[in-house]
Amino acid sequence: MSPTSATSHECPSLQPAEMGILAELRCPDVEMRIAILEMKAAAEQADIPRDVLEFLATRIESNIRVLEGALFKIGAYFGGRDHSTILYGYNKVAELVAEDQEVLWLMNDVKTALRDP
């Protein structure tokens, strides 16, 4: 029985305060999800590029626990590395993209594949 349909007459054992509150819960928008990730990263003293946070925030929409957990589980996919190793890899790829047109094309293919599975 939902809180809106129950009355104290129908459920005499329930007091009005015990019947519950009906609230609409919505998933946070992208900017809020990014802010959540920024706060989590700051709390862990992790310097994570904004585009990485944006990528996660646009891919994980419905579960904040998964969103927060994904931030630091990324390293597990790279052999248990911590965020500094991931950032090194990120910076190295950015350097290669700037130097080599073929790497840029390859990375664009990877991005497209991630975006359109």
Q: How far is CA 90 from CA 2, 27, 44, in A?
A: 49, 29, 19
7-54 residue pLDDT tens: 544 555 555 555 667 777 788 899 999 999 899 888 877 777 788 888
Q: Average pLDDT of the chain?
A: 74
Identify the pLDDT of residue 8: 45
Higher pLDDT, 87 or 2: 87
What does the domain layout of the chain look like in residue ranges?
16-115
| Residue that the structure tokens 């809106």 belong to | 4
Q: What is the largest CA-CA distance in the chain?
A: 75
pTM of the entire predicted model: 0.49
Higher pLDDT, 105 or 10: 105
| Alpha-carbon gap, residue 86 to 93, rounded angstroms | 11
